[in-house]
Amino acid sequence: MSYDKLNVFHWHVVDDQSFPYPSRTFPNLTEFGAYSPSHRYSRNDVTRIIREARLRGIRVIPEFDTPGHTHSWGKALPKLLTPCWGDGMDGGPYVPNYPLHGAAEVINPTEEYTYQVLETLYGEIVQDFPDEYVHLGLDEAYHACWKSNFEIADWMSRHNISDYSRLEEYYIRRLTDIVTSHGAKYVIWQDPVDKNVSISKDSLVVVWKDSFNGPPGKFHPWQTYMSRVTAKGHKVVLASPWYLNVISYGQDWRRYYVIEPTNFTDSDQSTRRLVQGGEATVWTEYIDGTNILPLV
């Protein structure tokens, strides 16, 4: 990173498959949620990464993604996740309905217990990481499980919440209030903007979608998303053209090199100033310790 003059390490710490982070307040998250006993970070790992980054002028921004991508959280704290009803009310909870949803998934936004856990956990995260920003994720929070659960529908009715995007908005507001109460700012993926969820103007948004990265016809060109995010007045970081794990035949570097993050608008400089930079991401479904360094 220092060779390439990259000055922020966005550390995607946890996901559906694993919770390797060594929480002091919820040690069972690592005990039960890590991929294996050998796939856990130690306290020394965390402090060493932050220290080595600082010596090279690199900030470390951790990402703890919610409300989706949280299956591993439920291994230790099952009450956090939403029970899915796959066969309607007669079938009972914890019934998968593939490919729409599993047996339990996506953090339950209607339980006060959820916010008690998040209050404690994010307080710990802010203490552990000195950077002013924490990445909150908020991507790919699919609503199918929420829709299957009649208790959530009843809660929404009692709280005058009309649809599931507004329920997601309620969760985001509660979470961002928690994070800011601990003195941190936050980064999010673009998904809430795509769903027209109301988010604070202070949100720093990362654009990750692009027609090159997804299945044919699924996504628009990245310029479309950059225009949508900046039109709402949000500061933005562009990531989608530089997904290093998306391999094509030929010279990928040519495509990476010609991208200019501000080339999406002809408007005045105030819009261009909302662009904070770019981000090169590498996701590791098909990458491990044998090939990650030469690829990057």
pLDDT at residue 174 tops 90: yes
Q: Beta-carbon neighbour count of residue 102 at 10 Å?
A: 20
The answer on pLDDT for 177 being more than 90 is yes
Is 119 in the active site?
Answer: no
Each residue's pLDDT tens digit, 245-288 = 888 788 888 889 999 999 997 767 888 899 999 999 999 888 88
Of the residues 119, 140, 168, 285, which is catalytic? Answer: 140
Question: What is the reported pLDDT for 201?
Answer: 86
Predicted pLDDT of residue 288: 86
Average pLDDT over every residue of 4-20: 96
Q: Can you give the pLDDT at residue 285?
A: 86
- How high is the pLDDT of residue 80? 98
Q: Is the pLDDT of residue 115 over 80?
A: yes
| pLDDT in the model for residue 99 | 92
- pLDDT on residue 247: 80
pLDDT digits (tens, 9 = 90+) for 184-196: 999 999 999 999 9
Three-state secondary structure readout of the chain: CCCCCCCEEEEECCECCECCCCCCCCHHHHHHHCCCCCCCCCHHHHHHHHHHHHHCCCEEEEEEEECCCCHHHHHCCHHHEEECCCCCCCCCCCCCECCCECCEEEECCCCHHHHHHHHHHHHHHHHHCCCCEEEEECCCCCCHHHHHCHHHHHHHHHCCCCCHHHHHHHHHHHHHHHHHHCCCEEEEECHHHHCCCCCCCCCEEEECCCCCCCCCCCCCCHHHHHHHHHHCCCEEEECHHHECCCCCCCCHHHHHHHCCCCCCCCCCHHHHCCEEEECCECCCCCCCCCCHHHHC
- pLDDT of residue 31 exceeding 90: yes
- Provide, rounded to the nearest whole percent, the portion of the chain with pLDDT above 90: 83
Determine whether domain 8-15+49-70+101-295 maps to CATH 3.20.20.80. Answer: yes
| pLDDT tens digits along 142-157 | 999 999 999 999 999 9
